[in-house]
Structure 1
Amino acid sequence: MLIFIQTVFSQQQTGTYINASIGLGITTPNEDVDVFGNGIYIQAEYVWAPKRWFSLRPYAGYINTSTDEDGLSGNLVGARASTKAFFVGGKTKVAIPIPWVAPYVELGLGASIGSFETVTPLINEKESGVTLHIPFSLGLALGRNNNFDVGLSYYFYPSLEQFNGAFAIGVSFPINR
């Protein structure tokens, strides 16, 4: 497997890129209840790819989600899960390319600044300020040069009773070509 990974290509080429993503953002409590917030997710990454199968990615983004409380019933009336935050951090991406399709996984560490609210029958959390998050993503880099991607990005907050994420599409642009 290690020999295979050393010879495969999942980035367009080695070098530097800007990756821009936009998608549907979600926020949900850690508790198993049918409450979630939805909204917008935007992220930009500076990509440094020393190898074609491995890259380092400092990132910055914004997520804004809120709960539509009209659809809630029973003991969930008044429940909410929302996030309004800017976030920054760094991720590592490892990909296993297949022609025109390169599955990938990303993992990293970052910080979010904003407001976070989780209200359920068992949780009543309202936080504002800076908090640590752990980003985790799964996706597919698509196209002849793998410069388009479709993925699921999640941000886990160890100190809060929620996580947020997105279904996003992105495009990569080479720098200094």
Structure 2
Amino acid sequence: MQRLLARTLALSSTDPLTGLANRRSLVEQAPRIWRQARRDGQRVAVLVLDLDHFKRLNDAYGHATGDAVLRCVAAALGATVRPPDVLARTGGEELVVLGLVSDPSEARHLAERLRLAVSSSGVGLQCEVTVSIGVALARPGDGEEPGDALWRLVDRADAAMYEAKQHGRDRVVVAGAAVVPLPRATPRSAGGMA
């Protein structure tokens, strides 16, 4: 009975396709992150990651390939996020990272590492994979309800992510900061999707 209960609890907080935390788990972790941020004098960072042209990828290669891409991306991100960070799949091709940073520069650096991990995750698949990332930061206030504050940060990071998409995709935008142009790398093979 205890094993069944433990398995049920794990399933209720885990995305079945990727094995990442799900939306419920993300909300459950927010109070811990907020407490730690207040205690350590750090900022809470939310990164919203959205795979670029994912619908086009599904249409061109099929949903089985789309699922394989999501699993590869999840594995690459899981190997790249820092141990105390929360990495969750919140729906479709959208993922959220919740963690602590000292300043916007540290948040941007983490986001760039994640962006590069995603672009490397498509190696061996028949398609190119890129991601647009929006970042938002806040200092937790006393008496603030972490769940509500989390979704306000997610909304700001989501808006920054859409700004990244509007500026060409495959880039990071920090809410309230100027868009930094992405250095152009050598083109990938012509058959890929982005």
Where relative contact order (Cα < 8 A, 6+ residues apart) is larger, the structure is 2
Higher strand share: 1
TM-score, length of structure 1 as denominator length = 0.28
TM-score, length of structure 2 as denominator length = 0.27
**Structure ID, larger Rg:** 1
